[in-house]
Structure 1
Amino acid sequence: MKKILVVDDDYLSKNLLSRIFKGSFIVEGASNGKEAIEKFRRENYDIVFLDIMMPLMTGMEVLKKIREYEKEKKVIESEKSVIIIVTALGEIENIETAYEMGCDLYLKKPITIKNLREKLGELGIELKKI
């Protein structure tokens, strides 16, 4: 079963995403960027959901560190984690920067299950019916 890491300092957002994926994936959570990096270095995650605004380390910093770690470990492109930014920040500069840094999908909160299912489908990721 594929593994997901949901990284968000907001308990409700993290819990909602975790509940959506429960049953389709093994889901783990992290409440800040530092915790996310520690978990990522210990485990392989197929998908990482990142909020941008978090304590200790922003989601953009986490994104950068994950991609650097994958490069350092010589992870081939097809085995890299799918990184999805889920944030309230919708400014074009943030979106462009995230894609330049290697995110695979940028979703602006609030997100609906329908929208999430559709966007994941575009990435070839199936979500079981809820």
Structure 2
Amino acid sequence: MSGTPRILIIEDDHSIIEMLRNAFSREGFLIDGATDGMEGLALFSNKDYDLVLVDLMLPGLDGMEVIRRIRERSKVPILIMSAKDGDVDKALGLGFGADDYIQKPFSTIELSARMKAAIRRATIYSSAEPQIEPSVSVGDLELDFANYSVKKKGQAVRLTAKEFDILKLFATNKNRVFTKSQLYGLIWNDDYMGDENVINVHIRRLREKIEDDPSRPTYIKTLWGIGYKWEG
């Protein structure tokens, strides 16, 4: 990527694109905008982007399908913009690969901070030397850190990258309590802004995939008012 971050905004409201273009251009970002999913994918195919902002409610090809298609060919950071928590929940939970989300209406200051953090994380990950880590077995789970894979009772479990990172953090720190602020700092590598929903969504979806009974978890325990810990 170039020294100047290039951002693709896929949003059907042209006024929002122009508002973000004006705000972020002053911060040194290069901004391209698309008002529907197909146009956004066409732009993505022709240029290298450091981050993609996607509104889930797009005409024609919806935002979740756009995310899925981008993820098939790229690890570029993707941030969801949405006014509906349920849509965010679904998009994060189905494993389409979004890295974060921001709920409408939002401040450009907060969005800018999240964008910079996502780009920073992607840069760190891409420049780091790969480290081969051992596989471990915990209960009826088999975690292969080298290949980012998980099996439950011998069957493959499909996790998003963030879900795997959370699982790895817990499984390698048994009985350690993590506050939501600590989880956000360690997994998202950013300052916690008090938005619990993104953490709650990931923990809930992770439980649904690894627990026999997600309502009575045996691995990831909630300590009300404090955070979470691993008891597997």
TM range (shorter): 0.7 to 0.9
TM-score of the superposed pair, with normalisation by structure 2: 0.46
Aligned-residue sequence identity (percent) comes to 32
- The equivalent residue for 2:38 is 34
Q: Secondary structure at the match of 2:85?
A: coil
TM-aligned CA deviation for residue 95 of structure 1: 2.4
Q: How many residues align?
A: 114
Listed one character per residue, the Cα deviations across residues 75-108 of structure 1 (whole Å, up to 9, x for unaligned) are: xxxxx311111111112xx223322210111111
- The equivalent residue for 2:9 is 6
- The equivalent residue for 2:91 is 98
TM-aligned CA deviation for residue 15 of structure 1: 1.4
Listed one character per residue, the Cα deviations across residues 46-85 of structure 1 (whole Å, up to 9, x for unaligned) are: 1111001111211111000000122xxxxxxxxx311111
Let me know the Cα RMSD of the aligned residues: 1.7
| Structure 1 residues 69 and 31: alpha-carbon distance in aligned structure 2, compared to 1, 3 A threshold | same
**Structure showing the higher helix proportion among its residues:** 1
Q: Secondary structure at the match of 1:69?
A: coil
* C-alpha contact (below 8 Å) 1:87/1:108 kept by paired residues: yes
- The equivalent residue for 2:64 is 60
Structure number with bigger Rg:
2
* Higher RCO structure (Cα 8 Å, ≥6 apart): 1
| Structure 1 residues 2 and 109: alpha-carbon distance in aligned structure 2, compared to 1, 3 A threshold | same
Give, in whole Å, the separation in 2 of the partners of 1:118 and 1:43: 23
Poorly superposed stretches of 4+, deviation over 6 Å? none
TM-aligned CA deviation for residue 121 of structure 1: 5.0
Give, in whole Å, the separation in 2 of the partners of 1:119 and 1:29: 19
Q: Secondary structure at the match of 2:73?
A: helix
Give, in whole Å, the separation in 2 of the partners of 1:26 and 1:121: 13
* C-alpha contact (below 8 Å) 2:6/2:30 kept by paired residues: yes
Where does the alignment leave 5 or more consecutive residues of structure 2 unmatched? 122-232
Give, in whole Å, the separation in 2 of the partners of 1:87 and 1:95: 7
Q: Which amino acid aligns with 1:29?
A: G
TM-aligned CA deviation for residue 8 of structure 1: 0.6
- The equivalent residue for 2:169 is none
TM-aligned CA deviation for residue 33 of structure 1: 0.2
Give, in whole Å, the separation in 1 of the partners of 2:36 and 2:98: 18
Give, in whole Å, the separation in 1 of the partners of 2:49 and 2:111: 19
Give, in whole Å, the separation in 1 of the partners of 2:65 and 2:89: 15
